[in-house]
Structures are given as C-alpha cells and as structure tokens.
C-alpha cells in the first residue's frame, strides 16, 4: 500500500435512500446500510461516497440542503450516522460525504432570512442583483429544465443567482462569513469521523459572480485555504472534487503551481469518462491513448478518480459533435435515453446490450487505468435503468438485493417506495439481484469481487505511473502498463469483437515470471509474450514482474 490511502482505494457511490430500508417506510436508511456493510466488505470496497444525507425538500435528490449540520430524518438520526461510521471503520471501510456548498435549498433558513429583508444578517450570504442581469439566460447547467441563472424574488425585490435550478440559490463565496461557515461544516463532519468530502460543483463554488459577466473570475485561493483547514482538522482526510472543465484548466484545481498539491487531492476524470464511452462505442482505443498521453501531470499526491457511471447523466459535452453522435447512436439511440442535449441517462449494462463480456471488458479497462476507481451501486450486479422515471431518476432506482417483493430493498407497500424497483424484463429484480449472484461463482458480482481482489495486488495502478505501450497492435486493442517500485503490470483490452493475437515481445527483457492475473477466459501460458491470444472483447491483466520493494 502506498502512503496515501485514497490512491489505492475502491470507492463505492451510493444514495442511502435507495440502498436498503431497515424500518419498512419505503426509504433506505443508515441502519439498512449498516446491515449491508458485510456485503460491501466482501466486494472489496474500501471507501463509501454517500450522496447528500442532509435534510432537504429533495427537489434535486438532496443536492438542495436545508441544514448542513444534520441528517435527513428519513435516513435516521445523527446517532445512526455515527454508528454507521463506527461499523464501517470496523471493516476497514472509510466514508466520505457529499459537500454541496455552492448553493442551498431556497427553503434553507439562511435563504429565507436573506430574502426577507435587505437588513437580514444572511442577505450577503447569497448573490443578488437589483436589476435583471444581461446574462440571466446564460450558463444554465440543466438546459431544457432550467431557463435562467438569475431569478427575480418578489419577497426580496431583487434578483438572485443560481447556477443550477431556481430552488438552489448560490452562496456568496466572497463573503468571509460564508467561507468560515463552509469550513465549520467540514469540521463538524470530520469531527464525527468522515474521511473527507466529494465536493460538488467546485468551479461554481469559487466563481466570483458579477451580474452581467458570464465569465466571472474564480478564486482558487479558497481551495488552498479549505485544504489547509481540512488537513489540519484530520490529516488523512481527502477532497474529491467534481470539476467538469477543460483539461488545461484542471491543474490549478490540484495545486497553485508551486509544485505542491495544496488544493484538491482527487478530481473525477470527466474527460476520460467521455473518451472511454467513445472508445467503447467505436471499438477503437485511440481516444484512450490520447487521454493517457494528454493528461496533465499532477503534483505529488494528486490523483484521478475514474468512473464509467455515476448518479448523473453521462456527460458527452466535451466530445466533438461527430464523436457525441457516435456514442449516442450506439448507447442512447432513443431520445428517451438522452438528457440535456448532451448526455445519456442509462446504466452501463443495458448500454452494452447486457453483454457480459462487454461489461467485464469495460470495467476491467476502467479499473486498470491510472487513478482510483469509483463504482456506482448496482453496477456490480449489472442493474438497468427505468426510463419511465423523470430525468436522472432513471438510474436512481432501489438496489436489487433479492427475489423478494421490492427486490428485498424494503418491506413497505410497493406504492410507498421512494422510487419503484425495476420489476420487468431482463433487468427486473427477478433476474438481476444480489442473492442470485452471491452464490454463483460465474456471476458478474463474483467477477467484480475477483477483479477488485486482483487490483489489491496491483498497487502500481493506483500509486504508480501508467502509460500506453506504443507497439503495433491489432485494430481495437489497447495495451498499457503501470509501473511502480513494486513492479510492472501490463494490460491488454480488446475493444473489438474479433479474436486477435498480440506481440509484446519487446517487453520480454523486463519480464520476470510473467503471468496472467485476470483474464476473461483461459488463454494458456503467456510464453515469450510474442503470441498473446486475445478474444473479442477479451482482456488480460499480466503481471510482468514483481519486486518486494514497496512504495
Ligand atoms: C452536481 C451533482 C448533481 C446535482 C448538481 C447540483 O452536478 O452531481 O447531481 O444536481 O451538482 O447540486
């Protein structure tokens, strides 16, 4: 294990309210999650990322908080949450929570006070304009559902800024009191025992909004300041940020350029996500090769978080129109599968036609690429989506635990469930559930367990350096390697459907008892690495050499 836990973590993202319901009210809760920690431990997860857990009117699935110092009573009490932290820790599992401080709910007492009077002590906690800002119809995050970024509030008799939905007024980061409060919020949860935060919407948090200026400057110093604070309060705490910006803008999120990583520890690799989707759609690894080559160099301690699916739509906005069309044509051809004109609201298994080989290939690829893998709940059993639900809710259906009614998620009357379980077709819980896969050594779940176990023995992926192996390859095949003091791993992934043979004999001199450690099928001995067979959608993780050195 390297020095920093997050470099070799396996992060599992879940929404407590759709995971496991312990009291039969139709909403998942902390006690339900505690009851599933053994499952997560067996899967090999080392860190949970919980989607927002605060009290909220839930107009944006909790990304609209009304109290940052409490938990949504539907999920349990703060006591239950503390118990969850304890129980997770007993199993070596850390917990990070969403920190959603770009905005609050408009029902938050701060906003209620702010709008009530210009003299409110909270007035300056939000961003106001006296007159309609010229850029009010620019910069919407949810085109189609959101029509402006400034809305007139009749009570306040002023316009307030909201980068997201109109019920999510932006906090005013330029107000020192807001900064102090954000730090206090992090202190509170760190004191309770969380290992860090998934920071929501970071580019917007640090935006120094000015009415009429759609390109407001950003205050990166706040990130330095917050990092200092968080790290002082808990030395091994981590900040994992959502910053979906152009690659050349990313380095300043990690550090101030002095060479030290003094801001965010980990960023989601949105660029890679889009490119992975494109590579899978075109059966051509070229864009992944580009991604490996173009990735900005990170300061020490900086790390990517890789993902295929999360709780939002797959965002294809950074691909060219041609590229985007190819992905949509393959994975989201029906308009009902698309969202905001830029993304796909589906889970991976249905996107890949529920083709087991293809699903394994995609996840083997993600988990072998540089960075820390993040896995969305339900993906490990190949859950599907429900397109009859609105927007992103299509991929936020309850976890499918068993053959029992409500997929074993809850004993409530089905009418009372937070969201309906998927109960029809190939992805219905009758076919896709944990119980069915738990005892089946050939199941997707068993495969994930094995793959994650294999990852544990390959610290080079998380802590080492990853590069493309630039030798002639059959069409569709990506060869890459991860190097570190512990040795070298070599990976072959065939994005195409043809069986091929690969020659990696140029690596033979470095090899020391090379051996397959994870494959989609039995391939026999790796020999001299010159005639490596690889089936259509096949993959081979090969340990080239291993030393007893460590990080
Ligand atoms: C982030 C979240 C998304 C949420 C938005 C507003 O993008 O991932 O789910 O709607 O922020 O908080």
Mind listing the pLDDT tens digit for each residue in 105-139?
999 999 999 999 999 999 999 999 999 999 999 99
Q: Which of 60, 80, 148, 200 is catalytic?
A: 200
pTM of the model: 0.98
Q: What is the pLDDT of residues 453-503, one digit of tens each?
A: 999 999 999 999 999 999 999 999 999 999 999 999 999 999 999 999 999
Residue 51 predicted with pLDDT over 90: yes
Stronger pLDDT, 319 or 294, i.e. the higher one: 319
Mean pLDDT of 244-256: 93
What is the Cα–Cα distance from 219 to 221, expressed in whole angstroms? Answer: 5
Judge contact between 50 and 198, C-beta under 8 A.
Answer: no
What is the DSSP track for 232-281? HH-TT-EEEE-----GGGSHHHH--SSSB--S-SEEE-HHHHHHHHHHHH
Catalytic residue check, 21: no
Burial of residue 215 (CB within 10 Å: 0-12, 13-18, 19+) is exposed
Q: How far is the CA of 200 from the centre of ligand 1 (A)?
A: 7
Catalytic residue check, 498: no
Residue 294 predicted with pLDDT over 90: no
pLDDT of residue 472: 97
Q: How confident is the model at residue 295 (pLDDT cuts 50, 70, 90)?
A: confident
Mutate to test the pocket of ligand 1, among 106, 312, 340, 390 (most ligand atoms within 8 A of CB): 312
Ligand 1 first shell, C-beta below 6 A: 60, 63, 100, 164, 200-201, 242, 311-312
Judge contact between 107 and 66, C-beta under 8 A.
Answer: yes
Q: How confident is the model at residue 550 (pLDDT cuts 50, 70, 90)?
A: confident
pLDDT of residue 549: 83
Q: What is the pLDDT of residues 401-442, one digit of tens each?
A: 999 999 999 999 999 999 999 999 999 999 999 999 999 999
What percent of the chain shows pLDDT beyond 70?
100
Residue 540, beta-bridge partner list:
492, 519
Nearest CA to ligand 1 atom 4: 63
Residue 171, beta-bridge partner list:
126
């Amino acid at each position: 294990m390297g020095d920093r836990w997050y470099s070799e973590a396996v992060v599992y993202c879940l929404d407590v309210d759709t995971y496991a319901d312990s009291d039969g009210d139709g909403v998942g809760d902390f006690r339900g999650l505690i009851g599933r920690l053994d499952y997560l431990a067996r899967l090999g997860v080392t860190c949970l990322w919980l989607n927002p857990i605060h009290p909220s009117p839930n107009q944006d699935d909790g990304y609209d908080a009304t109290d940052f110092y409490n938990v949504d009573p539907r999920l349990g009490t703060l006591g239950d949450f503390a118990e969850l932290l304890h129980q997770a820790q007993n199993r070596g599992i850390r917990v990070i929570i969403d920190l959603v401080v770009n905005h609050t709910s408009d029902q938050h007492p701060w906003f209620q006070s702010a709008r009530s009077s210009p003299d409110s002590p909270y007035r300056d906690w939000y961003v106001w304009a006296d007159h309609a800002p010229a850029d009010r119809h620019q910069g919407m995050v949810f085109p189609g559902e959101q029509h402006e970024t400034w809305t007139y509030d009749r009570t306040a008799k002023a316009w307030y800024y909201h980068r997201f939905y109109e019920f999510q007024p932006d906090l005013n980061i330029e107000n020192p009191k807001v900064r102090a409060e954000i730090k206090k919020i992090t202190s509170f949860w760190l004191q309770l025992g969380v290992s860090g935060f998934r920071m929501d919407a970071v580019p917007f948090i640090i935006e120094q909004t000015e009415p009429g200026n759609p390109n407001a400057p950003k205050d990166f110093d706040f990130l330095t300041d917050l990092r200092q604070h968080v790290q002082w309060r808990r030395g091994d705490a981590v900040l994992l940020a959502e910053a979906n910006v152009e690659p050349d803008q990313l380095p300043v999120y990690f550090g101030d350029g002095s060479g030290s990583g003094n801001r965010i520890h980990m960023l989601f690799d949105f660029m890679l996500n889009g490119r992975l989707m494109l590579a899978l759609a075109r059966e051509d690894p070229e864009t992944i090769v580009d991604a490996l080559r173009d990735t900005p160099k990170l300061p020490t301690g900086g790390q990517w978080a890789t993902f295929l699916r999360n709780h939002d739509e797959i965002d294809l906005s950074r691909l060219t129109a041609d590229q985007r069309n190819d992905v949509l044509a393959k994975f989201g051809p029906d308009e009902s599968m698309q969202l905001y004109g830029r993304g796909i609201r589906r889970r991976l298994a249905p996107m890949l036609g529920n083709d087991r080989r293809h699903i394994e290939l995609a996840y083997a690829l993600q988990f072998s690429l540089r960075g820390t893998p993040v896995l969305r709940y339900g993906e490990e059993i190949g859950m599907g989506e429900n397109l009859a639900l609105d927007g992103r809710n299509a991929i936020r259906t309850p976890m499918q635990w068993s053959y029992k009614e409500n997929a074993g998620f809850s004993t409530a009357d089905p009418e009372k469930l937070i969201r309906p379980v998927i109960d029809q077709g190939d992805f219905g819980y009758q076919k896709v559930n944990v119980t069915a896969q738990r005892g089946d050594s050939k199941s997707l779940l068993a495969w994930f367990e094995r793959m994650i176990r294999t990852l544990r023995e390959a610290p080079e992926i998380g802590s080492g350096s990853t590069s493309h192996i630039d030798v002639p390859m059959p069409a569709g095949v990506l060869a890459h390697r991860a190097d570190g003091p512990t040795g070298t791993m070599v990976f072959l992934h065939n994005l195409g459907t043809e069986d091929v043979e690969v020659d990696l004999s140029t690596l033979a001199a470095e090899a020391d008892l090379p051996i397959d450690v994870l494959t989609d099928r039995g391939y026999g001995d790796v020999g001299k690495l010159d005639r490596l067979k690889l089936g259509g959608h096949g993959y081979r993780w090969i340990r080239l050499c291993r030393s007893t050195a460590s990080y």
